[in-house]
Structure 1
Amino acid sequence: MPAPVIAFVGRSDSGKTTLLEKIIPELKSRGYRVATIKHVPGHLVEPAEERDTTRHLAAGSNTSVINSPEKLIFVKKQSSESTLLNIAWSLDEDFDIILAEGFKNSPVPKILVHRLEAGSPPESLNRVVAVVSDESVALDVRRFGLEDVSAIADFLVETVINPSRSRVDLRVNGERVALSNYPAEIIAAVMETMAKTLKGVAGVKDLEFRLKKP
């Protein structure tokens, strides 16, 4: 079950990375578990430690893993870019929030980061819920300054983290299915009731069920 995802979008040099570098420790200091996903246009320039994985992949491996005392890195072949939500689903650990940088065409909520020096903000963005900017932007959403880190963190807690404390996610054939409140409540109630009838299950805080057919 993926954590809630919100994307920080904007032009190059608008300050997205710098802002995230401030928001991540702010959320961590409040006890929240944070994951990040960055979109990189074009081809990645591999660090030296990943070059051997390229040789493994070229030899036929579909996935290669680097394990060291400091890092665990998975490198996986793909014929096209994964969607942001599919990447979020692939994260195994239980995070409170996933902060994405880029992915302006994704269906997730977005925070527009804008600086006057970076030029005009991108147009035709969907699901913009807030703007972080050093000048006025013609969007009727919450507005923050580039240094309003604590207030932005408050906004993320109130609008992203807290509402997702209890959630139901459904994915069919790899695609996430949007659920309104009623079917989500029905599915949750049925699955929780069934789980509680099983021997050894004292209570249910998190439940994951997967069905894979040939």
Structure 2
Amino acid sequence: MKVFGIAGWSGSGKTTLLEKLIPQFTARGLRVSVIKHAHHGFDLDRPGKDSFRHREAGATQVLMLSGERWVLMHELRDRPEPTLDEQLALLAPCDIVLIEGYKAAAVPKIEIHRPDFGKPPLWPDNPHVVAVATDADIACPLPRLPLNDAAAVAAFILEFTEST
């Protein structure tokens, strides 16, 4: 299982790029999984639903399933967030895991950098950034990828993961 990350500041376009990359990989017959790290709380459930009520009652895990999909919700209940390795171990076998966020994780990643956002680039201080996807003409010692060309970004990721 290959693991590759997409990192950048909030609002830089990480989700949009991933949304375009996934079909690039699946069109090649690859099975893709995604881990998205959120720095803020989130909830996939809704008040009043049975699963919500189970979690509110104190269940640590609630598994919901239907004929179309299943989801396992796990309440941390004041325990530490699982490490990236622990999360990867939970995934079913696949060809590539794309990770959104986890700027500091020790996995190769592409940084999405938009100078117009006014945020500093990550790559000077992050040895795990192996390329920069941008829509601007920036000076950077790493490979520069066209942010709006998902096929080129996917090709880079595949070439990189095959060589490591």
* 8 A Cα contact 1:15 1:115, kept in partner: no
TM-score using structure 1 length: 0.67
Q: More deviation in 72-81 or 132-141?
A: 132-141
Unpaired segments ≥5 residues, structure 1: 165-214
Note if 1:94 corresponds to 2:93: yes
**CA distance in 1 between partners of 2:39 and 2:68 (Å):** 27
Which amino acid letter does the alignment assign opposite residue 94 of structure 1?
A: P
**What is the aligned length?**
160
**CA distance in 2 between partners of 1:121 and 1:14 (Å):** 12
Q: CA deviation at 1:76?
A: 0.9
1:25 counterpart residue number: 23
Give the SS at the match of 2:99: strand
Unpaired segments ≥5 residues, structure 2: none
Which amino acid letter does the alignment assign opposite residue 96 of structure 2?
A: I
**CA distance in 2 between partners of 1:109 and 1:52 (Å):** 40
For residues 32 and 49 of structure 1, do their structure 2 counterparts lie closer, same or farther at Cα, with a shift above 3 Å needed? Answer: farther
% of aligned pairs identical? Answer: 38
The CA RMSD over aligned residues, in Å, is 2.1
**CA distance in 2 between partners of 1:48 and 1:141 (Å):** 44
Which amino acid letter does the alignment assign opposite residue 71 of structure 1?
A: R
1:106 counterpart residue number: 105
* 8 A Cα contact 1:15 1:114, kept in partner: no
Q: Which runs of structure 1 show a deviation greater than 6 angstroms over 4 or more consecutive aligned residues?
A: none
Q: CA deviation at 1:44?
A: 0.7
Which amino acid letter does the alignment assign opposite residue 90 of structure 2?
A: S
What's the CA shift string for 1:127-163, capped at 9, x where partnerless?
Answer: 1111100124454221101122112111111111x35
For residues 35 and 49 of structure 1, do their structure 2 counterparts lie closer, same or farther at Cα, with a shift above 3 Å needed? Answer: farther
What's the CA shift string for 1:67-120, capped at 9, x where partnerless?
Answer: 1233201001222222222211111x2211000110112111111011233222
TM-score using structure 2 length: 0.86
- If asked which structure has higher relative contact order (CA below 8 Å, sep 6+), I would say 2
Which of these residues, 37, 43, 46, is aligned with residue 45 of structure 1? 43
* 8 A Cα contact 1:114 1:132, kept in partner: yes
